Structure 1
Amino acid sequence: MALMALEDDLSCPVCTEIFNDPVLLSCGHSFCRRCNKDHWTSSGSRNCPICRQVSPQKPVSNLGLRNTCETFLREKCTERKRDGGQECLKHGEKLQLFCQTDDLAICSECKKHEHVSHRIQPLQETVRQRKGKLKAALRPTERSLFTLQNDTAVDDKLSKFIQNQAQQTERRIKEEFKKLHQFLKKEEESRTAALNKEEKDKKGKIERRKKGRIRSLSERVREVEDALKDDDITFLQNYNSILNRNLYTLPDAQISSEALMDIPKHLGNLKYNVLEKMKDTCPYYPVILNPNTAPPNVRVSDDLSSVSLCSYRQDDPNLLPLHRNRMVLGSVGYGDGVYTWEIEVGKSRHWSLGVCFGLLEKPVPQPEIVFWGIRRDGDMYKFLNTPLGFKMTLNPEVVRVQLEDDYDWKGRFWRNVTFFNARTNSHFATITGVPSMWEHFPFVIPEDQSSTLHIIPGNNGPTVELVEQKPSFLERHRFSIIICVCFIVAIFIFLSWKIEILDK
């Protein structure tokens, strides 16, 4: 009863509704601003609707009354929410309609006054439609959750692939260690433990990521299920935020080379590092090939030193199709200095060799030119990325590749890639002007079905010359020195000519 009496005191005498932006007249009576304006317009005078007293001044806002009305409406709204929140706060009628224009639940009186020209439909129809849309938006999330829970996601395939890599690598490690004496057993166990630890760490990381995704998707499903159980008004109030969260689909896990096993760490130069004294049985390879860069139709040998084409698809195709042209990269990139390695091509008439910017996963200034090398195609040799070609009278069976620093006549830093016939120690091709901003990785491309490309072992351990070359004073100022010399010569010639004229 007290609440109803207070509502009467806070109601406008004209519209009998709770004051909306109340104004105070000079006579002391208060009205809704709009009600007062309409009364003055219809009556043609500025008199009070109650006492008829004329108000010469402009009505002022009744701030105290307005704050009291707003507080009353908030309290009433809170009480109605406790009772179910199904009645209009302004008219007291049941909310049975929904305004699609304003995205708001309304009553029949609201439709007659504030929402006359708006798009209106029954509240239950709106709830039914939006529940259907929310369920449809949830389906991709449910499918992703089902995929993760049933071990069919990319993460699970990656985990199985890593496990297969680990098993094969472990087998190769054991085969290598069988060739050594019993005193190497301790080293074998330590390397196997390191391999197993890496496998466990990487599979554990994938498992943790998978559990995190399952937890996130489960929370989405639970949130929607809880929302579907809410009353209509609460559901509609939370609808947009829940829908937006479920429309966002968690991105699939991105596969990177770091996710796979670091096979070169376990197999690269294995025998050399384990038993340095046994040079003859433990060769050192200046370039270790990375099998993670090999496409399915290229086989990398167990010791990571040879590549050949396969006429069949391997049982464990690489999950990272980094190259389309059978390119296999070395596992280590080379920076400043001089680096040399030799590749046995044998009698093969089709192959490509050179250097490139790693796995091509980073942007480069000139995307169309990211590798530099030569290609043999029958009797012709061609520079990659250029139409230039040449022939040779003596085809090399072992090609020596040398990567070294260079400075042009302006003192700018570049790199050169030089190719030699290793058997005759004769130079036959050089590529100059190779950009130096990134490390360069050796690459080989087998293109002959019957031949194998093989990295030649070093004779006395590492043959890569890690020499930091700095330009000399003459190299850095070559251009300036040439200009100065030419200028001095010109002055000398001019003076000589003047002397001859004076003598005459």
Structure 2
Amino acid sequence: MALEDELSCPVCTELFRDPVLLSCGHSFCRQCINAHWTSSSSRNCPVCRQVSPQEPVSNLSLRNTCEAFLREKNKKEQKDGEHECLIHGEKIELFCQTDEEAICATCKEHEHRWHKTQKLQQAVRQRRGKLKTALRSAEKSLVSFKKGTARDPKISRYIQFQAQHTERKIRVEFGTLHQFLRKEEESRIAALNEEEKEKRGKMERIIQGGILSLSDRVKELEEGIEDDDVTFLQNYHGIMDRTDYTLPDQELSSETLIDVPKHLGNLKYQVWEKMKDICSYYPVILNPNAAPPDISVSDDLTSVTSCVHQQDEPNPLHLHRNRMVLGSVGYADGVHAWDIEVGDSHHWSLGVCFGLEGKPTTQPLTPENSFWGLRRDGDSYELMTAGMSRLNTSLHPVVVRVKLVYCYEYLQDTMQLKRWRKVSFSDASSDSLIAEFARVPLEKKLFPFVIPEDQAVPLRFVPANVTLTVEQKTSLLERNRVSFLFVCFISFMFILVILLGKSDRQGR
């Protein structure tokens, strides 16, 4: 860099271009010194400030030196751009197709002797061509996304439709709750007003009775005062005793007042408990995003119906050809059961699956494809297997119960404990088993699914019975009474054995 600094113009600080020499001995680019003199009032040197009356002359020697320096610099840059083998220090000119590695000629003779190789430039051209092809495909996709494909506006419009429809249903549901709370508030305030009216009426009757009694006593006393002198004096003390009469207190108690605890005690809990009648709990909630256009899902997401006409705003996503609707939640472990009211429908399918993510939309619904289901076709029932196993049953359930249970099995040949899941289908009214799948794998969550096939006949999930319980606080002794009695019994037997052992030794 020191040589390059010496070959740089003091004005532009770059390598000399058409250098000229002034009378003072300093050199500059011809364009730089002319520009300096044009902007200055004198023809002085920018370095030493000495005036140069003569025109500057070309510095041929300096120009040749700068050109030679540039040639050497370019050669060095070209050489630096070449990669050398880290093992042999030679230029890398080959590409090993076997190891996918750039190599030199010596590498080919030794480490890669029997490998398939090609020239480095040929390998680069081939791979750049493949990359350009892939890049064109990505660019087409990018253009499609920027312009918006035919489906994108449909999805955006459907999302807006979903948001508006869901908002309306939320307002309706909360309107129902608000109406219930308003009616409950009015009912409880009416009960309070009725009790107030009753208690006030009772108090007024007591007061009126006391007033009448006291009025009679006052009248009697006034008559006693008007007696003749002798009679008055004889009855004086009795008259004075009767003046101490007041209203009777024995009829007044806490029951005379408003029963405030009855109206305010656990008020919110009592209202919440009463809301069970309008707030049903469903063990399975359907996912409308997985419902095809000709399947109608109820507003509360608990029933499905096959319909003739498509929905006003159909789902734009690709869905399974079997027209199934999945539950919104999958189950990984534990025991789960739900009831599906099929009514008088003679054509339906229901069961569980691993979900539809990544699955072909045309695959059959069999255990091999992670579907375990029961199908009714007229008066016959079939397990949804590859051969559609026909079931020999006389049951025609109105409500089908699907139960998912964890099972454990000890395999003696391998001395291992295996875990499985079992899916069973039964008549909910009689709890009679229709069919079951054993050894359902554990690796994924199981999602309920239903397929309505009779038009206008819904498949409806039945709400579960919910029981509210209040935890009773008990003492430590009461909670562990059995354990305490057992410990006492063991201690008593231990002491008894010791005493019997002592008595035996003393007898001997």
TM-score by length of 1: 0.45
Q: Bigger radius of gyration, 1 or 2?
A: 2
TM-score by length of 2: 0.45
